[in-house]
Amino acid sequence: MNHPLRCRCGKLTGNISHPEKVSRGVCYCKDCQAFAHFLGTPGDILDDMGGTDVIATLPKYVTFIQGVEALSCMSLSETGMLRWYAGCCNTPIGNTSRDFRFSHVGLIHTCLKDPSRTLEASFGPVRMRVNAKHAKGKPASMTISTIASIVRFLSLLIRARLDGSYRQTPFFASDRGTPVVTPKVLTSSERERVMNAVQQT
Ligand SMILES: [Zn+2]
Ligand SMILES: [Zn+2]
């Protein structure tokens, strides 16, 4: 069964197929925290320890249905991950690599809210915790399930690379792999501002 994707205002909608194939995790890295501050609603995106609940899946399982013109993209630096969001209401959508052959998207929980079912019911429990050294506190360690989830996900990713299905993605042009939206790369002063906001919380 597909799980719906929706920005807060409802303009951008879509769905995720194969919810059983995802790896659900929490990332505590400073860049994910900075993205939440950039969007202006860190309290809605980050948990008490600064973690972002992320559903890692293959981009080919993500479909946008309506409002795709609202899809926006930013990056904290020229080489940073591409961070996708709905520009209509600044809802984070997910993070991808800059290279579409690395077929991965980490969908952020805020676009997966659904009154009829919990994230748990669709995607199962959190099985990975990454970059815990940047957490504001000490998240319980999940080393074994984190490694198992990463290995499992990498095998999906390698398969998508080998069979060419990495080209099926709503985030990149399938022929050249250019992002469908030109990323807004933060200037050094803009980056400094969001990094300071991360430090101060
Ligand atoms: Zn919206
Ligand atoms: Zn992160």
Give the dihedral sign, CA 99/102/108/111.
positive
| pLDDT confidence of residue 141 | 85
Under the banding of pLDDT at 50, 70 and 90, the label for residue 201 is: confident
DSSP letter assigned to residue 166: G
Nearest ligand to the C-alpha of residue 92? Answer: 1
Distance 132 CA to ligand 2 centre (A): 10
How many Å lie between the centroid of ligand 2 and the Cα of residue 96?
11
Res. 165: pLDDT tops 90: yes
pLDDT-above-90 percentage for the chain: 95
Tens of pLDDT, residue by residue over 93-122, are: 999 999 999 999 999 999 999 999 999 999
Residue 25 is predicted with a pLDDT of 95
What pLDDT, on a 0 to 100 scale, did the predictor assign at position 41?
Answer: 96
pLDDT of residue 1: 83
Please report which confidence band the pLDDT of residue 76 belongs to, taking 50, 70 and 90 as the band edges.
very high
Q: Please tell me the number of the ligand nearest to residue 110's CA.
A: 1
Mean pLDDT of 177-193: 97
Q: How confident is the model at residue 197, as a pLDDT?
A: 95
- Inter-CA distances, 59 with 63, 191, 193, 195, Å: 8, 27, 31, 28
Q: What ligand is nearest to the CA atom of residue 198?
A: 2
Taking residues 61-79, what's their average pLDDT? Answer: 98
Identify the nearest ligand to the CA of 10 by its number: 1
> Which amino acid makes up residue 118?
T
Q: Which pLDDT score is estimated for 130?
A: 94
Q: How far apart are CA 27 and CA 56, in angstroms?
A: 11
75 alpha carbon to ligand 2 midpoint, in Å? 13
Query: At 41, which amino acid appears?
Result: T
Ligand 2 centre to CA of 92 (Å) is 13
DSSP, res 163: S
Distance, first Cα to last Cα, the chain: 38
Block residue for tokens 């559903």: 55
Mean pLDDT of the chain: 95
